[in-house]
A and B are shown apart, each in its own frame.
Chain A
Amino acid sequence: MSANIMVVVVLLPIVFGVLIPLIPFKTRRHMTWYVEGVVLLTSVLVWGLLISQPDGSFVLFRFTGNLSVSFRLDGLGTVFAGIVSSLWPLATLYSFEYMKHEGHEKFFFMFYVITYGVTLGIALAEDILTMYFFYEMLSLVTLPLIMHTLTREAILASRTYLYYSLGGAAFAFIGMIFILTFGTTSVFVPGGVIDTTALGDRQGLMLLIYVLCFCGFSVKAAMFPFSSWLPKAGVAPTPVTALLHAVAVVKAGAFTVIRVTYYSFGTELLRGTWAQTVVLGLTIFTIVYGCSRALKETHLKRRLAWSTVSNLSYILFGAALMTPLGLVGALSHMVFHAVMKICSFFCAGAVIYKTGRNYIHELNGFGRKMPKVFTIFTISGMALMGVPGLCGFVSKWNLAKAAAASENPLGYLGVAALLVSALLTAIYMMTISLRAFFPGRDFDYDMISDVEDPNWMMILPLVIFVIAMFVFGLHSEPVITALESIAAAMN
């Protein structure tokens, strides 16, 4: 497949998404076919691209000189595009059922489909300007999705999201300017593009800029102290919280951090400096902080959102180790966390959809009434804890392996933080399962007699995720080997 397809996969969802409110669909069913069709077509094209790995870039348009919006597929982009394109069709299928009770579906699906294109734009961006452009766009197109219910809470949450995102983008912008000034090229190159001779004695300044840039892009990945927008954004409909706030948007944050660290600034420049210490410290703190907040939270989706905060910092921690092994750990957690977290969010969504209950203390005894959902939820919880045999163990193993090999005391501390976080994860996930399956001897099941498992449209994605968790957990070698080959390009 030629490189031109890249621009197609980015523009196709955007254009067809914009058309959704304009097309007069006869029935709801027609609209769902249209939406699933667009999403599936895009995904198939993306998979075609990923398999054929076209070499070469496609320039959409040029601003001035060497500034352009252009696309190119490389290893890192393959990973991110692969995650997104695999999960989007499943999440769409799930949302058809879920969105029945939310209303305003046309506008919802419009932005939902557009976001797909924009996320792919980030994954396929060839240079920092393109990536920045799509990064900003992502903030804007996902805003209406958070606002969807138009309650006061939702509007406040979307406002918080907007301020955080724009603030982060501003920092990222500063970083971009410096890269463009001191870099030999604006294109992403494994190992970095900073010209050290041009930099001269301004290395300290460059490190400061790196920290700002790291923080700027990490706003989307909800790193402390920029994490509070994510739990608030939990007011959005579940398909949004599951796909965007556990996968697409937050992983876009982690992805951009990896891009600027490994492909723009370069690890040579950063490794062992105070800048690395600062970002490592922040990520380690967030790993524990996110879990502790999750533990305190009684709202189911917000608890999962705090868990995302913590897990995203696993990825950032791996990236901040600035070694090829660290990158492997970060990328493996990026892939596996996507599966685990979207699965647990979908379970939460199934509960909300079927019963309208949002708080954990309302879930007593649900295990017997919704056996499929809660079994799957328990498995995803175990995966998040890192039980061997499920995929979470593999990514934690790779992260810890990298940290133990890093020869950096903060790395060792990070290993401890990972395990503390695993314990806290066990507490906040397993208490839910125990409550659901063992409500106590005197529990009256008549109180929840109307609770039942949802239909196949919601169960099917869940089952696929569970299978994926086991497959990745028991046979991770192909994935890890592929990630290692990406990381090997760094040296």
Chain B
Amino acid sequence: MNGWILLPVFLPVIAGIFLLLMLSCERRRLHQAAGTVLVISALLALLAAWTGEKSVTLFYLMKDIPVYFHIDGISRIFVTFTSIVWVCVGIYAFVYMEHEGAEKRFFGFYLMVYGVLVALEFSGNLVTMYFFYELMTLTSAPMVLHNGSREAIMAALKYLFYSLCGAYMGLFGIYFLYQNCDTLTFTPGGTLNPALAQDHRTILLIAVFAMLVGFGAKAGMLPLHAWLPAAHPVAPSPASAVFSGIVVKAGVLAAIRTVYYVVGPDFIRGTWVQTAWMVLALVTVFMGSMMAYREPVFKKRLAYSTVSQISYILFGLSLLTPMGMTGALLHTVFHAFIKSALFLTAGVFIFECGKARVSELTGIGKRMPKTIWCYTFASLALIGIPPACGFVSKWYLAEGALHADVGIFGWLGPVVLLVSALLTAGYLLPVTMKGFFPGKGNGENSGMKKASVEISGVQNGITDDRDTGKKEPSLMMLIPLGILASLTIILGVLPNPLIHYISQLVSGLM
């Protein structure tokens, strides 16, 4: 009996629904309950993931389509970083959500989305994955519109419709794959029926392309990326952190499952689909960095950065070589930690000082040095400066591109990655530099105080001591941030176990 592996799915979902239905609850009790459920389900998820391959069929959705879960190497990686980030951000949120209000609703959905994500990562066939993919969209939308302002509701609608549009493009592909595959169960190397695939080559390529673009919507790939910069600034910071770090990775997971486990990399290698995928990914990498570079609102800048970074991963996947895929998986893991750490610092700035724009962060390093150090480590990792972890994944991505047989993209890819890394440095490091070395003329800052209060919507009444004295956030916020930030360094210094694990996994695939 492997049924227990679904406990980390059902426990948080049921607890989440229970929280939503509960009439009222004392704040401390709520935190205790939500925290306990979160930690227990994360432990269960890790236990389920790391105790060998297991599969379980829940029931039959349709005659030949079971709701089927199977834990393999990919699920293991995804579940691990999801659980770590989710728990860290959850603990952070206990403090942070105080000023956002409606905590019961937030934690209700927060738990539910975790359960759904675990189910998504454990899914063993395409339809089960689609089921939870759509459920995740629906359950995560309320986290975007949390503060109930008009922009937040519009952003949530945008998120919902981009995601659904993407999901339906994916479904379009699933219909045709169902017709032409032996089974929709994930099988390394793909399950396309060669005879049928030969007859329906054109429509199948169109279907696969639709799936890649569609699942790319969640991953912020052009042309369906626009929800990301809209949703992040309005969502509460913990929500942004998990959206950017984890939820967008669902798109990556869906692309991996489609290409490597159902269609098979051989079918699209050398076709226009591969070329188009690479072009879209590279254009997104460049465009995302450019947009981030010229964006003044801090969280929006980070959102554009996510757009760009996820497309690194997609580019690695589009190479269809073991090395590219290794790089992509490494970057998936690293980016999850890096980006959630960055968003948590953005949250600290908003929570403690009500500052949402980059220009207001001048001199902030004096007041919260620990926070800024965490930020700096994560930034270095994202830029890819050794020994931080981003270097490792980018190395593999560039090597993969150079060794892949993809014509002009073999060298164009690394060039774009490098340019984007420069831009990344350009948009992340000024915060650290200005933070520690404000220079002269800091006085203009106080003039913007009022505006910043309005922008971030924070009115916690602290105005006088805002620009003076140390004001680190509480430990409940600082420790999760510190864990995530130090992971980015530790994984950069000691990447070998992870690389070893991933390359073994990938060599089994191709």
A interface residue numbers (CB < 8 A to B): 382, 385, 387-389, 394, 397, 400-401, 403-405, 412, 415-416, 419-420, 422-423, 426-427, 430-431, 434, 438, 440-441, 474-477, 480-481
Cβ of B150: which chain A residues have Cβ within 8 Å of it? Answer: 440
In the bound assembly, the distance between CA atoms of A427 and B164 in angstroms comes to 10
In the bound assembly, the distance between CA atoms of A434 and B179 in angstroms comes to 36
Judged by a CB distance under 8 angstroms, whether B496 is at the interface is no
Asked whether B148 lies within 8 Å of A438 as measured between CB atoms, the reply is yes
In the bound assembly, the distance between CA atoms of A477 and B178 in angstroms comes to 18
Judged by a CB distance under 8 angstroms, whether B138 is at the interface is yes
Q: Closest A-chain residue to B172, C-beta based?
A: A419
A389-B62 contact in complex given A412-B203, A415-B172, C-beta closer than 8 Å: no
In the bound assembly, the distance between CA atoms of A269 and B165 in angstroms comes to 38
A434-B168 contact in complex given A388-B130, A404-B179, A480-B62, C-beta closer than 8 Å: no
Asked whether A423 lies within 8 Å of B153 as measured between CB atoms, the reply is no
Write out, one digit per residue, whether chain B residues 159-192 have a CB within 8 A of any chain A CB (1) or not (0). 0110011001101100110110000000000000
Asked whether B62 lies within 8 Å of A434 as measured between CB atoms, the reply is no
In the bound assembly, the distance between CA atoms of A382 and B150 in angstroms comes to 23
Instruction: Give the distance to chain B from A478, nearest Cβ to Cβ, in Å.
Output: 10
Q: Closest B-chain residue to A403, C-beta based?
A: B175
Q: Which of A388, A403, A430 has the most CB of B within 10 A?
A: A388
Instruction: Give the distance to chain A from B1, nearest Cβ to Cβ, in Å.
Output: 21
21 contacts across the A-B interface (CB closer than 8 A): A382-B138, A387-B138, A388-B61, A388-B127, A388-B135, A397-B62, A400-B171, A401-B178, A404-B176, A415-B172, A415-B175, A415-B176, A423-B164, A423-B168, A430-B160, A438-B153, A440-B149, A440-B153, A474-B61, A475-B60, A476-B62
Cβ of A412: which chain B residues have Cβ within 8 Å of it? Answer: 203
A440-B148 contact in complex given A404-B176, A405-B179, A434-B156, C-beta closer than 8 Å: yes
Instruction: Give the distance to chain A from B262, nearest Cβ to Cβ, in Å.
Output: 15
Instruction: Give the distance to chain A from B172, nearest Cβ to Cβ, in Å.
Output: 5
Asked whether B172 lies within 8 Å of A401 as measured between CB atoms, the reply is no
Asked whether B179 lies within 8 Å of A401 as measured between CB atoms, the reply is yes
In the bound assembly, the distance between CA atoms of A415 and B174 in angstroms comes to 11
Q: Of the candidates A385, A400, A474, which one forms a contact with B175 in the assembled complex, judged by CB atoms under 8 Å apart? A: A400
In the bound assembly, the distance between CA atoms of A401 and B61 in angstroms comes to 15
Asked whether B147 lies within 8 Å of A441 as measured between CB atoms, the reply is yes
Write out, one digit per residue, whether chain B residues 43-74 have a CB within 8 A of any chain A CB (1) or not (0). 00000000000000001111100000000000
Q: Given A419-B168, A419-B172, A476-B62, output 19 extra A-B contacts at Cβ < 8 Å.
A: A382-B138, A388-B130, A388-B134, A389-B61, A389-B131, A394-B61, A397-B62, A404-B178, A415-B172, A416-B172, A420-B168, A423-B161, A423-B164, A426-B161, A434-B156, A438-B148, A440-B150, A475-B59, A480-B63
Asked whether A426 lies within 8 Å of B160 as measured between CB atoms, the reply is yes
Cβ of B165: which chain A residues have Cβ within 8 Å of it? Answer: 423
In the bound assembly, the distance between CA atoms of A238 and B62 in angstroms comes to 34
Judged by a CB distance under 8 angstroms, whether B157 is at the interface is yes
Q: Closest B-chain residue to A416, C-beta based?
A: B172
Judged by a CB distance under 8 angstroms, whether B145 is at the interface is yes
Asked whether A404 lies within 8 Å of B134 as measured between CB atoms, the reply is no
Cβ of A422: which chain B residues have Cβ within 8 Å of it? Answer: 164, 168, 171
In the bound assembly, the distance between CA atoms of A420 and B167 in angstroms comes to 11
Cβ of A415: which chain B residues have Cβ within 8 Å of it? Answer: 172, 175-176
In the bound assembly, the distance between CA atoms of A422 and B60 in angstroms comes to 23
Q: Which of A387, A419, A430 has the most CB of B within 10 A?
A: A419
Asked whether A438 lies within 8 Å of B62 as measured between CB atoms, the reply is no
A431-B157 contact in complex given A394-B62, A474-B59, A477-B62, C-beta closer than 8 Å: yes
Smallest CB-CB A-B distances: 3 pairs = A441-B148, A388-B131, A419-B168
A419-B62 contact in complex given A388-B131, A389-B131, A441-B149, C-beta closer than 8 Å: no
Write out, one digit per residue, whether chain B residues 101-137 have a CB within 8 A of any chain A CB (1) or not (0). 0000000000000000000000000010011001100
Q: Of the candidates B134, B169, B172, which one forms a contact with A387 in the assembled complex, judged by CB atoms under 8 Å apart? A: B134
In the bound assembly, the distance between CA atoms of A285 and B63 in angstroms comes to 31
Cβ of B160: which chain A residues have Cβ within 8 Å of it? Answer: 426, 430
Cβ of B203: which chain A residues have Cβ within 8 Å of it? Answer: 412
Q: Closest A-chain residue to B127, C-beta based?
A: A388
Instruction: Give the distance to chain A from B149, nearest Cβ to Cβ, in Å.
Output: 6
Asked whether B175 lies within 8 Å of A404 as measured between CB atoms, the reply is yes
In the bound assembly, the distance between CA atoms of A405 and B149 in angstroms comes to 47
Instruction: Give the distance to chain A from B127, nearest Cβ to Cβ, in Å.
Output: 7
Instruction: Give the distance to chain B from A474, nearest Cβ to Cβ, in Å.
Output: 7
In the bound assembly, the distance between CA atoms of A127 and B186 in angstroms comes to 49
Instruction: Give the distance to chain B from A442, nearest Cβ to Cβ, in Å.
Output: 9
Instruction: Give the distance to chain B from A325, nearest Cβ to Cβ, in Å.
Output: 11
Cβ of A438: which chain B residues have Cβ within 8 Å of it? Answer: 145, 148, 153
Cβ of A388: which chain B residues have Cβ within 8 Å of it? Answer: 61, 127, 130-131, 134-135
Write out, one digit per residue, whether chain B residues 281-297 have a CB within 8 A of any chain A CB (1) or not (0). 00000000000000000
In the bound assembly, the distance between CA atoms of A403 and B203 in angstroms comes to 13
In the bound assembly, the distance between CA atoms of A488 and B168 in angstroms comes to 30
A427-B161 contact in complex given A387-B138, A404-B175, C-beta closer than 8 Å: yes
Cβ of A481: which chain B residues have Cβ within 8 Å of it? Answer: 63
In the bound assembly, the distance between CA atoms of A415 and B161 in angstroms comes to 19
Instruction: Give the distance to chain B from A409, nearest Cβ to Cβ, in Å.
Output: 9
Q: Which of B60, B61, B179 has the most CB of A within 10 A?
A: B61
A477-B63 contact in complex given A412-B203, A441-B149, C-beta closer than 8 Å: yes
Cβ of B153: which chain A residues have Cβ within 8 Å of it? Answer: 434, 438, 440
Instruction: Give the distance to chain A from B84, nearest Cβ to Cβ, in Å.
Output: 29
Instruction: Give the distance to chain A from B398, nearest Cβ to Cβ, in Å.
Output: 37
In the bound assembly, the distance between CA atoms of A441 and B138 in angstroms comes to 21
In the bound assembly, the distance between CA atoms of A401 and B62 in angstroms comes to 12
In the bound assembly, the distance between CA atoms of A405 and B179 in angstroms comes to 7
Instruction: Give the distance to chain A from B101, nearest Cβ to Cβ, in Å.
Output: 10
Instruction: Give the distance to chain A from B72, nearest Cβ to Cβ, in Å.
Output: 22
Instruction: Give the distance to chain A from B215, nearest Cβ to Cβ, in Å.
Output: 14
In the bound assembly, the distance between CA atoms of A474 and B62 in angstroms comes to 8
In the bound assembly, the distance between CA atoms of A434 and B157 in angstroms comes to 9
Cβ of A405: which chain B residues have Cβ within 8 Å of it? Answer: 179
Q: Which of A403, A412, A416 has the most CB of B within 10 A?
A: A412
Q: Closest B-chain residue to A426, C-beta based?
A: B164
Asked whether A477 lies within 8 Å of B60 as measured between CB atoms, the reply is yes
In the bound assembly, the distance between CA atoms of A430 and B164 in angstroms comes to 11
In the bound assembly, the distance between CA atoms of A148 and B147 in angstroms comes to 45
Cβ of A403: which chain B residues have Cβ within 8 Å of it? Answer: 175
Q: Which of B61, B62, B135, B175 has the most CB of A within 10 A?
A: B175
Cβ of B156: which chain A residues have Cβ within 8 Å of it? Answer: 434
Asked whether B175 lies within 8 Å of A401 as measured between CB atoms, the reply is yes
Q: Closest A-chain residue to B176, C-beta based?
A: A404
Write out, one digit per residue, whether chain B residues 89-104 have a CB within 8 A of any chain A CB (1) or not (0). 0000000000000000
In the bound assembly, the distance between CA atoms of A400 and B168 in angstroms comes to 12
In the bound assembly, the distance between CA atoms of A382 and B63 in angstroms comes to 22
Instruction: Give the distance to chain B from A400, nearest Cβ to Cβ, in Å.
Output: 4
Instruction: Give the distance to chain B from A473, nearest Cβ to Cβ, in Å.
Output: 8
Q: Closest A-chain residue to B161, C-beta based?
A: A427
Asked whether B169 lies within 8 Å of A419 as measured between CB atoms, the reply is yes
Instruction: Give the distance to chain A from B143, nearest Cβ to Cβ, in Å.
Output: 12
Instruction: Give the distance to chain A from B184, nearest Cβ to Cβ, in Å.
Output: 12
Cβ of A397: which chain B residues have Cβ within 8 Å of it? Answer: 62, 175
In the bound assembly, the distance between CA atoms of A427 and B163 in angstroms comes to 12
Cβ of A385: which chain B residues have Cβ within 8 Å of it? Answer: 164
Cβ of B130: which chain A residues have Cβ within 8 Å of it? Answer: 388
Asked whether B131 lies within 8 Å of A419 as measured between CB atoms, the reply is no
In the bound assembly, the distance between CA atoms of A236 and B450 in angstroms comes to 56
Cβ of B157: which chain A residues have Cβ within 8 Å of it? Answer: 430-431, 434
Cβ of A427: which chain B residues have Cβ within 8 Å of it? Answer: 161
Q: Closest A-chain residue to B145, C-beta based?
A: A438
In the bound assembly, the distance between CA atoms of A480 and B150 in angstroms comes to 44
In the bound assembly, the distance between CA atoms of A412 and B172 in angstroms comes to 9
In the bound assembly, the distance between CA atoms of A166 and B177 in angstroms comes to 45
Cβ of A480: which chain B residues have Cβ within 8 Å of it? Answer: 62-63
In the bound assembly, the distance between CA atoms of A422 and B169 in angstroms comes to 11
In the bound assembly, the distance between CA atoms of A307 and B173 in angstroms comes to 25
